A and B are shown apart, each in its own frame.
Chain A
Amino acid sequence: EAGVAQSPRYKIIEKRQSVAFWCNPISGHATLYWYQQILGQGPKLLIQFQNNGVVDDSQLPKDRFSAERLKGVDSTLKIQPAKLEDSAVYLCASSHGGQGRTEAFFGQGTRLTVV
């Protein structure tokens, strides 16, 4: 079974530039998460999708971050414009999301450096 795919693996941009990350979840997984992990900290949930609908985006800085999951499969996370404090690893995860709780599977992440 293929895992969660993310791209790119690394990205370096200047502040005020824009950047987009892509995630392809495990086939059939209804729930998709985007997390931000700053060095030395645990992952912070940015947004959670159930199919193509947003379940929770309470921690997403909506003035600069946006995310979409068209057709309930792939997802993109965008930052526009980027700030120095956005430097972090952005992790995508997916879970089955059906009845009963199941674990989330994580991608390798995208390491963003804003200079």
Chain B
Amino acid sequence: AQSVAQPEDQVNVAEGNPLTVKCTYSVSGNPYLFWYVQYPNRGLQFLLKYITGDNLVKGSYGFEAEFNKSQTSFHLKKPSALVSDSALYFCAVRAQNRDDKIIFGKGTRLHILP
């Protein structure tokens, strides 16, 4: 069965510091991996995805994520955090051989401290 784990409910980072939001997954076969962001009272917005190829994926707003197959991880990163990055972040996974279901993690709330 597919599953996604985001081990941290909340991450606090000082503005200007690098940030990491962790995600690990479990699927049968090769994964398709995604990160989404949710601002207050809004729906989720797409940030980036890994399908195949380069393990380092670059996305919107300066975010990037690194796919690590041996550790089954897909951590979200940004070199220098902004206060405006404060939001709820979701990791999601779909198995390559399952074209229908996409499973989301429980979300990690990111607080960027001025």
Check if A and B associate. Answer: no
Interface residues of B (CB under 8 A from A): none
